[in-house]
């Protein structure tokens, strides 16, 4: 095993977007919306956890490069069936930020689970996936147009 040498690559702008879905009971969604969760503001905690997780990605994923992040946005929206997480990560560096975006989305979903597990242990985290990446040698990739 080895960490890939990216020293000869140019620093370029790179972006990645990842999403995750958390299925839960409608009653659980209603409690989150009403702010009736004992641990506090679920959506704010999930967003913050996602941002913090991007900074720790190289500590969690073996051989993942530490990257100077230039921007991280984590959004969480609710619908009747659960929560949808979207994480966007940007850098100006020698390697991409796909792993950071995926880590942010996963951690935000895990945070939601942790905060409401006392009322809904049957939640399911699913569809953790890369939606978009741009920059670098391989250019742009979009899930919607991937063949």
Helices (H), ranges, the chain: 26-34, 42-60, 98-116
Closest CA to 75 of 85, 63, 89, 62: 85
* Rg, C-alpha atoms of the chain: 16
Active site (annotated) includes residue 93? no
Enter the tokens of residue 53: 């997780």
**Spatial separation of the C-alpha atoms in residues 137 and 104, rounded to whole Å:** 24
Which one of the listed residues 93, 114, 120, 142 is annotated catalytic? 114
CA torsion, ordered 94, 98, 102, 108, to nearest 10 deg: 50
Enter the tokens of residue 101: 């975006």
- CA distance from start to end of the chain: 30
- Residues known to be catalytic: 114
């Amino acid at each position: 095993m080895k960490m890939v040498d990216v020293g000869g690559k140019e620093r370029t702008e790179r972006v990645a977007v990842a999403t995750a879905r958390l299925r839960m009971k409608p009653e659980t969604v209603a409690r989150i919306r009403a702010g009736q969760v004992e641990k506090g503001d679920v959506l704010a905690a999930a967003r913050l956890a996602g941002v913090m997780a991007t900074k720790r990605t190289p500590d969690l994923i073996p051989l993942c490069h530490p990257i100077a992040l230039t921007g991280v946005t984590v959004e969480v929206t609710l619908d009747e069936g659960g929560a949808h997480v979207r994480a966007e990560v940007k850098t100006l560096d020698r390697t991409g930020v796909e792993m950071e975006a995926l880590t942010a989305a996963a951690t935000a979903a895990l945070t939601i689970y942790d905060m409401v597990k006392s009322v809904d242990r049957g939640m399911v985290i699913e569809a953790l996936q890369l939606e978009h990446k741009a920059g670098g040698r391989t250019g742009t990739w979009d899930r919607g147009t991937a063949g």
